[in-house]
């Protein structure tokens, strides 16, 4: 891939991080991983990624939301697209639609777990092309 994109995966589940990383690296992306928001921000300080893929429920039920709010509220980072990959709807019954819930969920995309590799790659392409 001539224009290698940097993607940060933020998820507290090491199996999910590894699976998504494998899908993305095998498709030519430079992938970094973090298990917590604090770890993610340390990585971002070294150079912002082209895309952030993150879970919602990590250390707390809303850590992903809080991280998204923090990123979108930062003038240097607010343009980084965020793709939520989570099972929050299955576990809580809440459903999210970024086109309707943008003020509550300030992200560019949402995928339910378990993740279909083809769907993931399609969404990634649409957000970083």
Q: What is the pLDDT along the chain (129 residues), one digit of tens a residue?
A: 457 899 999 999 999 999 999 999 999 999 999 999 999 999 999 999 999 999 988 888 888 889 999 999 999 999 999 999 987 555 445 555 555 555 557 789 888 888 899 999 999 999 998
- pTM given for the model: 0.87
Q: Are 32 and 78 in contact (CB under 8 A)?
A: no
- Under CATH, which number does the domain 6-128 receive? 3.40.50.2300
Q: What local confidence, expressed as pLDDT, does residue 10 receive?
A: 97
What does the domain layout of the chain look like in residue ranges?
Answer: 6-128
Q: What local confidence, expressed as pLDDT, does residue 95 receive?
A: 55
Distance of CA 103 to CAs 73, 113, 117, 120, Å? 12, 23, 28, 24
Q: What local confidence, expressed as pLDDT, does residue 107 receive?
A: 86
d(CA 74, CA 90): 30
d(CA 55, CA 64): 6
Using alpha carbons only, give the angle 15, 34, 70 rounded to the nearest 5 degrees: 130
Q: What local confidence, expressed as pLDDT, does residue 109 receive?
A: 87
């Amino acid at each position: 891939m001539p224009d290698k994109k940097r993607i940060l995966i933020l998820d507290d589940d090491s199996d999910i991080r590894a699976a998504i990383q494998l899908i993305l690296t095998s498709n030519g992306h430079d992938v970094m991983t973090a298990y917590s928001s604090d770890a993610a921000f340390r990585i971002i300080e070294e150079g912002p990624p082209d895309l952030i893929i993150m879970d919602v429920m990590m250390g707390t039920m809303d850590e992903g939301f809080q991280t998204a709010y923090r990123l979108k509220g930062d003038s240097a980072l607010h343009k980084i697209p965020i793709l939520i990959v989570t099972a929050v709807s299955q576990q809580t019954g809440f459903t999210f639609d970024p086109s309707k819930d943008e003020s509550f969920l300030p992200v560019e995309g949402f995928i339910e777990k378990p993740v279909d590799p083809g769907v993931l790659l399609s969404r990634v392409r649409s957000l970083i092309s």
